[in-house]
Chains A and B, each alone.
Chain A
Amino acid sequence: MKALVWHGKEDVRYDTVTDPSIENPRDAIIKVTSCAICGSDLHLFHNLIPAMLPGDILGHESMGEVVEVGSEAKGSLKVGDRVVIPFTIQCGDCEQCRKGNFSVCRRTNRKAELADKAFGHHTAGLFGYTHLTGGYPGGQAEYLRVPFADTTHIKVPDGIEDEKLLFLSDILPTGWQAAVQADIQPGDTVAVWGCGPVGQMTIRSAILLGAEQVIAIDYLPERLSMAAAAGAITIDFKEESVLERLNEQTGGEGPHKCIDAVGAEAHVNFGQPDTILDRAKQMLMAESDRPHVLREMIYACRVAGVISIIGVYTGLVDKIPMGQAMNKGLTFRMAQAHVPRWTDDLLRRIEDGQIDPSFVITHKVDLSAGPEMYRTFRDKADSCIKVMLRP
């Protein structure tokens, strides 16, 4: 089959690989009909997260049709089922899965010993996302083996196009969780840093959850225009002072809720000198992430406010103003999305016409164009915000 394979920093190739096969009775194989490149795939593209190996298949946003089912998954799946595959692999039965904390499932990371050393305690297995999360082959491919398939799938109805359903795999529930973990209440002002695909979903989620005012922060005009389309007030951080604008919009008190949809790779620019220092440290392997957004959120947030982190961080960050956070009484919530916790509800909202996630797709291409699209997406060229791939 054909797949997008990681070979090293900035080196993704459209390779011919062997087909996956059933290994475990709970496995299933799906024929991928649509998949996408995620912003967090760029951390792998930049080799920022350790434990990628040449030959790893990328991709954790995919959907398709079941073509083979292991004996123990037959109770919940059958050949021909149409499914979206969550990026988190979950057993459904461990202590954390029973609590709904699927992204920290205790059983699905098949390289738990390695992950224990990196994280202290391992997290769930993820598709196409380094050997710290199991080293499972990803879904930017023609076929995907789904481990723990009886619990790792979202059945979706026929009659709704892939474009509307694909993002149940990651960015829609991720954006939704970002808003939910901020505990948005009617009347709140919510500031969202980063208007990439997850930021865009977060903005829509915040509106659906009743935020009175949503403020979107980025510098790319096409992303700001997409944020404004949903009714967000926009701040271009290259043109304006973020702190001043946020105070203007909130009577000097700051936003009630601040959401980080940027994570490890904050944009480097002279207007924000800490980003330059972070980038230099990153090159010298003295710091793994550039946490400018986290610093800014702590300063900007209203006292007793909530900081919700959904942008992916990879490891060590420097110069976090913990004193300010502690003294202001801020609450921090963060996690990789617990995808299946939200997907039944979100699928119903898609069917009900409350949200149409296809708005975010700016490029729809054949899988063979994947290597070039990784570059286009990373370079933010051609007004690229979200790439959907068809194998």
Chain B
Amino acid sequence: MSLTNVTHIARSEGDPRVEHKGPSSLTGPDRLARALGWFSIGLGIAELVAPGRIARALGLEGKEGLIRAYGAREIASAVPTLSVDKQVGLAARIGGDALDLGTLALALRPDNPKRDNAAIATALVLGITLLDIIAYSGTKTVHSRERGAQRDYSDRSGLPRGSQASRGLARKDFDIPPDYRAEGRVADAVPELVA
């Protein structure tokens, strides 16, 4: 059952209900960024709660503290990635990918018995890095302010009589209502004081 059907319980009988979903404002890069953000949350939680298992699987015993810190970093980059400022989060993720690859390079040493696992992890991180770069450049393109024309609206006054002739025009037949008055004069309030 789709979410829009569930939310119908909050509507009244005569309210329109969704029958068919149409095209969305979300673009492909937006959806990719969102998926990467949720991936970051999942990986970050795994690194925070099970750093020992990850360290053993990669032959990185003794680096549990570093892996836990990387978990915190993953979650910190997920927050902006899932927000409307996704490019900030994606840039942070790309930086984080570089750190991950640097750390995995330590696990690729020939004497590491878990070298094969480290090689697989490195390949996965490389793949994710590629997706991060695609999402970053994609969102930058689709949300660029530069797309379309740069126009000048200096001919749009909205005041058909011109701005000078319009100045104070409404005061001829409009007074600020009493409940909107914020200013007063001593002469109005205490006439005897200025008499």
User: Which residue numbers of A lie inside 8 Å of B, CB to CB?
Assistant: 1-3, 5, 7, 9-23, 27, 45-46, 53-57, 99-100, 110, 131, 135, 137, 141, 145, 180-186, 200, 204-205, 207-212, 221-223, 225-226, 228-231, 268, 279, 283-284, 306, 331, 333, 345, 349, 353-360, 362, 368, 371-372, 374-376, 379-385
Contact = CB atoms under 8 A, between A and B. Distances in A.
Interface in B134-166: 142-161, 163-164, 166
Interface string B1-42: 001100110111111111111111111001000000000000
Contacts of A383: 148-151, 153
A209 B168 contact: yes
B80 interface: yes
Given A27-B14, A345-B174, A16 B151 contact: no
B20 A10 contact: no
A229 to B, nearest CB: 4
A282 to B, nearest CB: 8
B8 to A, nearest CB: 7
B187 interface: no
Contacts of A145: 14-15
Interface residues of B, number: 64
A182 B182 CA distance: 7
B186 interface: no
B14 A204 contact: no
Nearest to B147: A381
B169 A208 contact: yes
Given A231-B167, A283-B85, 6 more contacts: A16-B19, A145-B14, A209-B170, A357-B158, A375-B27, A383-B153
Interface of B: 3-4, 7-8, 10-27, 30, 79-80, 83-85, 142-161, 163-164, 166-171, 174, 176-177, 179-183
Contacts of A381: 143-148
Contacts of B176: 180, 183-184, 209
A181 B80 CA distance: 38
B137 to A, nearest CB: 16
Nearest to B9: A53
A205 B170 CA distance: 9
Contact of A183 (B19, B153, B182): B182
In the A-B complex, list the 6 residue pairs whose CB atoms are closest, starting with the nearest.
A382-B148, A231-B163, A210-B168, A359-B158, A55-B4, A23-B14
A42 to B, nearest CB: 10
Contacts of A382: 147-149
Nearest to B171: A210
A184 B177 CA distance: 11
B3 A279 contact: no
A333 B182 contact: yes
Which of B16, B85, B156 has most A Cβ within 10 Å? B16
Contact of B154 (A10, A225, A375): A225
A371 B22 CA distance: 10
Nearest to B84: A46
B182 A141 contact: no
A137 B163 CA distance: 39
A349 B183 CA distance: 26
A135 B11 contact: yes
B160 A207 contact: no
A228 B154 contact: yes
B24 A7 contact: yes
Contact of A356 (B153, B160, B180): B160
Contact of B143 (A135, A184, A375): A375
